[in-house]
A and B are shown apart, each in its own frame.
Chain A
Amino acid sequence: MRVNFTVNGRPQEADDVWEGESLLYVLRERLGLPGSKNACEQGECGSCTVRLDGVPVCSCLVAAGQVEGREVVTVEGLAEYAKQRSCGSSCGTSLNDAQQWAAKGQDSQTGEGTELAPIQQAFIDAGAVQCGFCTPGLLVAADEMLERNPNPSDADIREALSGNLCRCTGYEKIMDAVRLAAARQGEAV
Chain B
Amino acid sequence: MPSNGAPIGTPTKVTQGSQTKGGIGESTLRPDGTLKVTGEFAYSSDMWHEDMLWGQILRSTVAHAEIVSIDTSEALKTAGVYAVMTYDDLPAEMKNYGLEIQDTPVLAHGKVRHHGEPVAIVAADHPETARRAAAKIKVEYRELPVITDEASATAPDAILVHEGRDDHHIGHVPHPNIVHRQPIIRGDVEEARKRADVIVEGEYTFGMQDQAFLGPESGLAVPEEDGGVHLYIATQWLHSDLRQIAPVLGLPEEKVRMTLAGVGGAFGGREDLSMQIHACLLAMRTGKPVKIVYNRFESFFGHVHRHPAKLYYEHGATKDGKLTHMKCRIVLDGGAYASASPAVVGNASSLSVGPYVIDDVDIEAIALYTNNPPCGAMRGFGAVQACFAYEAQMDKLAKKLGMDPVEFRQLNAMEQGTIMPTGQPVDSPAPVAELLRRVKSMPLPPERQWESSEGADVRQLPGGLSNTTHGEGVVRGIGYAVGIKNVGFSEGFDDYSTAKVRMEVVGGEAVATVHTAMAEVGQGGVTVHAQIARTELGVSQVTIHPADTQVGSAGSTSASRQTYVTGGAVKNACELVREQVLEIGRRKFGTYHPAWATAELLLEGGKVVTDGGEVLADLADVLEGEVVELEREWRHRPTEAFDLRTGQGNGHVQYSFAAHRAVVEVDTELGLVKVIELACAQDVGKALNPLSVLGQIQGGTLQGMGIAVMEEIIVDPKTAKVRNPSFTDYLLPTILDTPIIPVDVLELADEHAPYGLRGIGEAPTLSSTPAVLAAIRNATGLELNRTPVRPEHLTGKA
Contacts and interface: CB of A to CB of B under 8 A. Distances in A.
Interface of A: 18, 20, 28-29, 32-42, 44-45, 47, 74-76, 78-79, 109-112, 114, 116, 120-121, 123-125, 127, 129-136, 139, 155, 157-159, 161-175
Contact of B524 (A74, A125, A130, A136): A130
Contacts of A170: 695, 698-702, 738, 741
Given A34-B42, A116-B37, A123-B33, 14 more contacts: A29-B48, A34-B45, A35-B38, A35-B40, A37-B45, A37-B264, A42-B297, A75-B38, A111-B38, A124-B33, A127-B692, A129-B30, A155-B459, A170-B700
A133 B37 contact: no
A6 B48 CA distance: 23
B798 interface: no
A130 B460 CA distance: 27
B588 to A, nearest CB: 31
A127 to B, nearest CB: 4
Chain B at the A interface: mostly helix, strand, loop or mixed? loop
A169 B698 contact: yes
B35 interface: yes
Contacts of B35: 110-111
Contact of A167 (B263, B728, B732): B732
B46 interface: yes
Main SS at interface, chain A: loop
Interface string B489-529: 00000000000000000000000000000000111100000
Contact of A33 (B39, B45, B297): B39
Interface string B716-733: 000000000011100010
Nearest to B527: A127
A135 B37 contact: yes
A168 B48 CA distance: 26
A110 B32 contact: yes
Contacts of A76: 38-40
B31 interface: yes
A130 B523 contact: yes
Interface stretch (B5-13, B211-219, B221-229, B654-662): B211-219
A34 B39 contact: yes
Contact of A44 (B46, B457, B699, B726): B726
18 contacts: A32-B48, A34-B42, A37-B43, A39-B296, A45-B214, A76-B39, A111-B34, A116-B38, A124-B30, A127-B695, A129-B37, A130-B523, A131-B213, A132-B264, A133-B215, A170-B741, A172-B741, A173-B698
Contacts of B214: 37, 39, 45, 47, 131, 133-134, 165-167
B34 A124 contact: yes
A41 B38 contact: no
Contacts of B69: none
A42 B728 contact: yes
B597 interface: no
B692 A135 contact: no
Interface string B11-54: 00000000000000001011111111111111101101000000
Which of B33, B37, B212, B296 neighbours the largest number of chain A CB atoms within 10 Å of its CB? B37
A131 B42 CA distance: 12
Contacts of B267: 167
A116 B703 CA distance: 31
Nearest to B29: A124
A18 to B, nearest CB: 6
Nearest to A153: B457
A158 B295 contact: no
Contacts of A172: 694, 698, 738, 740-741
A180 to B, nearest CB: 13
A28 B38 contact: no
A18 B40 contact: no
Given A35-B40, A168-B695, A169-B695, A42 B738 contact: no
Contacts of B700: 170
A164 B734 CA distance: 7
Contacts of B695: 127, 130, 168-170, 173
